[in-house]
Structure 1
């Protein structure tokens, strides 16, 4: 299988004495860390990429990457700027992160303040808060509050008693572990899980559990190092997995691209290997490139703006965060309308026509359809197919992706014409007859059905 790069983050690390526990009279600060008993995981402060922000997180201790791979983040939404004056400690029976001003910015938020309390980092990557002896039942555990990683031994499911779900959420980008647009969660009462965009649009599903594997993941049935299980009882419904070889380092990561990637670390080659990824193609991730952009699996980067458009945020695109999409290079003046707009035709084969039909106007011919869009300031494009006029805006133009179709293909095709200023389109002089500098044009994209 192909080698897949994981998210890498710039961390400043000092090795601790090997302690795996924080007691009531102790705290972590600066370069201090704790390490699980057998050295599988490490917890401490880290900095993501070139960002100046710091976070408390857990990473693989035995993976010799520098920087290492983070699997859990505590304060993913509330970073700190100075790790040396911040403290990660037990306070009033809770695990708390205090920032530079000694203000709590993250806590386990348990109501009880029982003591003595301790927090232990286990060799499965689970951080647990205990009241009393080390053998007591955890009061709080990081496995119940996952971020972007689904570790072996943890649960992805739904608690029927508390009406709460375990949800895996991607990072915002490679330098910001705040919750991104993509999530993995169990679909209640269906024995399946799904990848969602913005916690609402489902763009991939595992299919139902058949007793051995999910129907959309036949690779799970292939003899390997994993065992899978789905539990459904009166209290909870959840999916879990574990490795038959405890010396193997593995995890399931929801990448910033929106793909869920099951990967295994091979110590002999010092590389991560892909077991499976879902969806298999990045361009199958819903709205991966945002509005007025096209996803092309064959290019690098795979997201590119349509003709006459540019990234909404170039800094986000530099971090492979494309979901903000693109904007016109030149803002259109809605008060200027030409009687006979021309077409700039740039045929781009794509798939994923937005599903909504609320924008259909069946009675118009193509000329009237074009004029209707041109006269409507909220219209960003139109299509005319099977005698039906459809008007589009940026809210339903955020899921265009490139597909290769042979010349003898029998698939039906139509053009999606998008408004763009003529000055931002490169074209041969004979392609159009420009009448004045205020003329608008439609950039045309070809859809395949």
Structure 2
């Protein structure tokens, strides 16, 4: 495999004789005519060895010959051409510029902009809007609610093949926004929603001296972004061909990448392992148990370590409002929020009352845990993908029948 074009900054896009970081409409960059059979326009770290690729333009359309060239058209569209000047890939921007230039920034972002325009909000096109398998500092993973742009990571097919693989990491906004790892259409792991401090499903990722993580949600866009505290550090997140999110940090002394973190980390991070109303605890054997007030739906399957059917209430709910209330469960990875409703300004009492009055409301929790808590999440239907944490989990209040509440209170008295 060989990336064959470029422009120099901290990053490189293929090798040419003169170092530069800007391509104008009168220039083109031609293939270095090296030996690999599959040829790509790609970006890698300039000074790090071995070569570390972070982005490909034509990852699913490799060139099979040495006649490739990258050029910038007059209207500001990057075009990769192949044999007989056929178009292999283009940036396909809907906007145009009168004096376009393409520039590789020190962030690793390849941008097309007007020659006199440096405001990122006005870039005509940027590679950061089209991620491959790598998340770099200041890149976004999420979606734009106005343009419809969906920013997600897609794994390589294999460690030697950068074409699109089976795994994706993306933001789902069908309820309270949350991040999923998928193999094809199937969810393999759920990172969860942002609770103001961290993602609810990965509380072990804590403040550190290397990078910060934040989640932005507004009427225009929802996205996760991380920034370096020390810009001399190199760090990247990749989605591996076998479906893991891994963060690496470059160690100068050893001249190598060091693995900093991996997600998923254990068996309890398999999505919905314990079924509806089931709860996973990695410190228990077996991992799966039923939440307090629930029993296995099918005991025979459950006892044979098939937990997929989950759990049901010991006492079914009766008529709505007939003494029903909520049991508190602490230290929890909150359930899948696709069947949820949320409000960022409600207080705890309002959240309780709204769920209690809605006969379809299964559970509720505080949305933002900072400063004593604010906001409200309501769940409707079954609760899926619950996990128990030793620390940094959250409280959730699950609807129970009146008789079950009495039993619980008596057992605690």
Shorter-chain TM-score: what band? 0.5 to 0.7
Residue 28 in structure 1 maps to residue 14 in structure 2: no
Counterpart pick for 1:256 among 214, 225, 241: 241
Contact 1:180 1:256 in 2 (8 A): yes
Match of residue 87 from structure 1: 69
Match of residue 187 from structure 1: 172
Match of residue 215 from structure 2: 230
1:334-345 map, 5 Å: none
C-alpha deviations, 1:33-89, integer Å up to 9, x for none?
xxxxxxxxxxxx998xxx611010001112121xx0111000111110223x21101
Closer, same or farther in 2 for the Cα pair 1:163/1:113, shift >3 Å?
A: closer
Contact 2:3 2:43 in 1 (8 A): no
Q: What is the RMSD computed on CA atoms of the aligned residues?
A: 2.7
Counterpart pick for 1:197 among 183, 191, 204: 183
Closer, same or farther in 2 for the Cα pair 1:244/1:103, shift >3 Å?
A: same
Residue 162 in structure 1 maps to residue 163 in structure 2: no
Contact 1:258 1:285 in 2 (8 A): no
> Gaps spanning 5+ residues in structure 2: where?
5-13, 272-303, 311-413
Q: TM-score, normalised by structure 1?
A: 0.55
Match of residue 206 from structure 1: 191
Counterpart pick for 2:102 among 110, 115, 119: 119
Cα distance in structure 1, aligned partners of 2:48 and 2:267? 26
C-alpha deviations, 1:316-370, integer Å up to 9, x for none?
xxxxxxxxxxxxxxxxxxxxxxxxxxxxxxxxxxx9969589xxxxxxxxxxxxx
Counterpart pick for 2:83 among 92, 96, 100: 100
Cα distance in structure 1, aligned partners of 2:142 and 2:34? 29
Match of residue 156 from structure 2: 171
Match of residue 424 from structure 1: none
Closer, same or farther in 2 for the Cα pair 1:103/1:353, shift >3 Å?
A: farther
Closer, same or farther in 2 for the Cα pair 1:231/1:46, shift >3 Å?
A: farther
Contact 1:168 1:254 in 2 (8 A): yes
Match of residue 19 from structure 1: 20
SS where residue 20 of structure 2 aligns?
coil
Measured after TM superposition, the shift of residue 175 of structure 1 is 2.8
Closer, same or farther in 2 for the Cα pair 1:253/1:353, shift >3 Å?
A: farther
> Gaps spanning 5+ residues in structure 1: where?
1-8, 32-44, 287-350, 358-449
Contact 1:212 1:228 in 2 (8 A): no
Contact 2:2 2:38 in 1 (8 A): no
Closer, same or farther in 2 for the Cα pair 1:352/1:119, shift >3 Å?
A: farther
Cα distance in structure 1, aligned partners of 2:242 and 2:194? 26
